[in-house]
Amino acid sequence: MTPRAAETGAPVPAEMAADSAVAVAGERQGAAPGRVGGLSNAEPERSPQPQLATEQAEPLLSELSSPGAPTHELPALDVPDPDDLPQGTTPRIPEIGELDVVRHFTHLSQRNYSIDSGFYPLGSCTMKYNPKINEDVARLPGIAHIHPLAPDETVQGALGLIYHLERLLASITGFAAASLQPMAGAQGEFAGMLLIRAYHQARGDTKRRKVLVPDSAHGTNPATAAMCGFHTVAIPTDRDGDVDLDKLEAELDDTVVGLMLTNPNTLGLFEKRLLEVTSAVHRAGGLVYGDGANLNAILGVVKPADMGFDVLHINVHKTFSTPHGTGGPGAGPVVVTPALEPFLPAPVVVQRDGAYALDHARPQSIGRLSYHGHFGILARGYTYIRMHGPDGLRQLSETAVLNANYLRALLRDVYDVPFDRGCMHEFVVSAKSLKAAHDVRTLDIAKRLIDYGIHPPTIYFPLIVDEGMLIEPTEGESKRTLDSFAAVMRQIAREAAEDPELLHQAPHHSPVRRLDEVTAARKPVIRW
């Protein structure tokens, strides 16, 4: 631990404790203690140098390899013996005992930050706890080992799961029908806008090319509109954090395809004049696409179909557990009004003569987007919904909203709160004042949180908030965890005033220190 951390008394988790001076993108911390492996036969064997636990880097398996080390006995070869291969083509396989292999991978796993290991308030990503029963279900052989092209009669259970999950999602959101085919939120958006395009085309209304997107939207929204061949017009956010209705109305004409709207929006606010917004778009002949990534906040309380949306995508992987922030598998089903149902991706699971079957006869369909979606994630989401039931889902949304408002109240006298009104499941704070007073930016605060063993919130999103942090505690966190996060955030604000350099240099206790962010993004070094 550095003297500075000792002064602040920061709790430093073991997995973050390695200290080094590496500052180059992707560079591994410290050199391996010493090569002892069979892969470096040409080099003289060196003894590992003693190192304190806080300084230890994790060597590669090839660096741990030692020629002749007792390893597993493999069964007799039924392919050519590598020793008989021409020289130079022998595979370079590390020679390591089982214990060292287990330790190597355990060390690496401990460097992974996860919800199971700590608080993860990554706004907009809904990094909620993933109950272990989800994993039990997803691993059932009848779910994990089936093939997407298996004959219908051999996979009745799986087709039944698709059929019933579609109906559950439609019922939760108030829509007529659903498709589970989109494999992520972004693909759900794409599906939604293709459905709206198909709707206009089927009516011969082909002059509509303009998609309206609020300036607070997730970047995938305008990208989706562009992929569908439309151009976008950004609608500003008003002073209260809502869509600027006057500016929206000024853009409405007979070239409007529709509006892509997130509600609750990406500022964590429920659009106050939502019904006026959706009615205005409908009056102009456009449709309203709902980005339902924030459905987590309103389950069992209000249905998006009642708000005037025509199609909504659902991030199953956030709303119904299986968080996937910063990558990972997802599922982005769409739910639609009766007017859009004929265009849903085909095939559709139907019930015929008491059995489930795939119906391919959908002449107006936008086509196939995947086989049956990301089935493992869908099975987890289905389990989550059935385990909670209607009352449980409502309770989780209410708790998510309560937790976010509680945290907001604990932080609002220390950080700027640009839209200071009751929030939904997440809220935005800003470090604008800390930047003006002490030259401490949101990025510095995020890096310092790592020293306290906490995953930073989403930063600099939505783009419209200067020095913004989007904080989403989720419903699963205890009051104790929320209180300790608030205490850390308040401590960091004090550090900003007393010792800004401490924050400029943070993190001090992670396997790699402050990276050159631009080089890390543009020239990532991810192998060596």
Ligand X SMILES: Cc1ncc(COP(=O)(O)O)c(C=O)c1O
Binding mask 70-109 for ligand X (x = CB under 6 A): ----------------------------------------
Choice between 143 and 186, CB closer to ligand X: 186
Q: Is residue 214 at the binding interface for ligand X, with CB under 6 A as the rule?
A: no
Cβ count within 10 A of residue 3: 6
The C-alpha atoms of residue 478 and residue 467 are separated, in whole angstroms, by 28
**For ligand X, which is the closer residue by CB, 20 or 322?**
322
Q: Does 213 bind ligand X (CB under 6 A)?
A: no
What is the smallest separation between the CB atom of 218 and ligand X, expressed in angstroms? 4
183-202 binders of ligand X (CB under 6 A) = 184-186
Q: Which of 291, 310, 444, 472 binds ligand X (CB under 6 A)?
A: 291
Are 312 and 175 spatial neighbours (Cβ–Cβ below 8 Å)?
yes
CB of 187 to ligand X, least distance (A): 7
SS3 259: strand
Please list, in sequence order, all residues whose beta carbon lies within 8 angstroms of the beta carbon of residue 487, skipping any fewer than 6 positions away. Answer: none
Instruction: Single out the residue of 56, 232, 315, 322 in contact with ligand X (rule: CB under 6 A).
Output: 315
Smallest distance, Å, CB 215 to ligand X? Answer: 14
Residues in the chain: 528
Gap between the Cα atoms of 414 and 105, Å rounded: 41
Task: Give 38 or 332: the residue with its C-beta nearer to ligand X.
Answer: 332
* Strands 287-292 vs 311-314: parallel, antiparallel or unpaired: parallel
Does position 381 interact with ligand X (CB under 6 A)? The reply is no
Q: At what angle do helices 479-498 and 375-411 cross, to 10 degrees?
A: 60
Give min distance, CB of 205 to ligand X, in A.
Answer: 27
Residues between 118 and 137 with contacts to ligand X, criterion CB under 6 A = 124-125
- Please identify which residue in 104, 200, 210, 218 interacts with ligand X, judged by CB under 6 A: 218
- The helix (run of H) or strand (run of E) holding residue 83 is none
Considering the complex, state which of residue 65 and residue 130 has its C-beta at the smaller distance from ligand X: 130
Instruction: Indicate the helix (H) or strand (E) that contains 414.
Output: none
| Choices 6-14, 182-190, 252-260, 333-341 (CB under 6 A): range interacting with ligand X | 182-190
Helix, strand, coil content of the chain in percent (nearest 5): 40, 10, 50
- For the bound state, the minimum distance from the C-beta of residue 182 to ligand X, rounded and expressed in Å, comes to 9
Interface residue with ligand X among 66, 134, 262, 337 (CB under 6 A) is: 262
Pick the closest to residue 1 from 57, 59, 58, 53 (CA basis). 53
Query: Interface with ligand X includes 426 (CB under 6 A)?
Result: no
Exactly one of 216, 266, 322, 510 binds ligand X (CB under 6 A); which one?
A: 266
Q: Which listed residue (330, 345, 347, 511) binds ligand X by CB under 6 A?
A: 330
Per rule CB under 6 A, count of chain residues that contact ligand X: 14
Which residues does 347 contact at the CB level (< 8 Å), separation at least 6?
358, 359, 360, 362, 368
Give the shortest CB-425-to-ligand X separation in angstroms: 11
CB 369 within 8 Å of CB 361: no
At its nearest, how many Å lie between ligand X and the CB of residue 54? Answer: 35
Using DSSP, state whether 352 is helix, strand or coil. Answer: strand
For 224, half-sphere exposure in the C-beta direction (CA atoms, 13 angstrom radius) is 31
Contact 181, 370 (CB under 8 A): yes
DSSP bridge partners of 212: 233, 259
Nearest approach, Cβ of residue 418 and ligand X (Å): 18
Q: Under the rule (CB under 6 A), what is the footprint of ligand X?
A: 124-125, 184-186, 218, 220, 262, 266, 291, 293, 315, 330, 332
